[in-house]
Structure 1
């Protein structure tokens, strides 16, 4: 039996059950799909970059 764990997405900050793990952080399926289709000239692109930087730069580090 598969256990459904909810993780908080580093992009949208919502709890989701499915997604990918990058290093120690979780990205939900919805955000992953949106990032993949986002062009570099899209207004959301800098937002995604900012959120992804949180994977490597921790405030308390």
Structure 2
């Protein structure tokens, strides 16, 4: 059984998702990210959330 992970995009706990460079993304956010065209304002939101999540993985 998989452990729950906290999604780096929506911050919800989920048992279904992926790790992308050690950053957890739930299945729902993954699907929405894939379906969002680059000219949609929501795309920029996803870019910023992923950048923030990746920066948090860099040790200080």
User: Matches of 1:26 and 1:5 in 2, distance apart?
Assistant: 12
- TM-score, normalising length: structure 1: 0.84
Which 4+ residue blocks in structure 1 deviate beyond 6 angstroms? Answer: none
CA distances 1:2-49 after superposition (whole Å, capped 9, x unpaired): x13110000000000111001221000100000000011111011000
Higher helix share: 2
Unmatched 5+ stretches in structure 1: none
- How far does residue 53 in structure 1 lie from its aligned partner after superposition? 0.6
Q: Number of matched residues? A: 59
2:38 to 12, 32, 40: 40
Structure 2: gaps (5+ residues): none
1:16-55 residue pairs with structure 2 within 5 A? Answer: 16-55=14-53
Larger Rg: 1
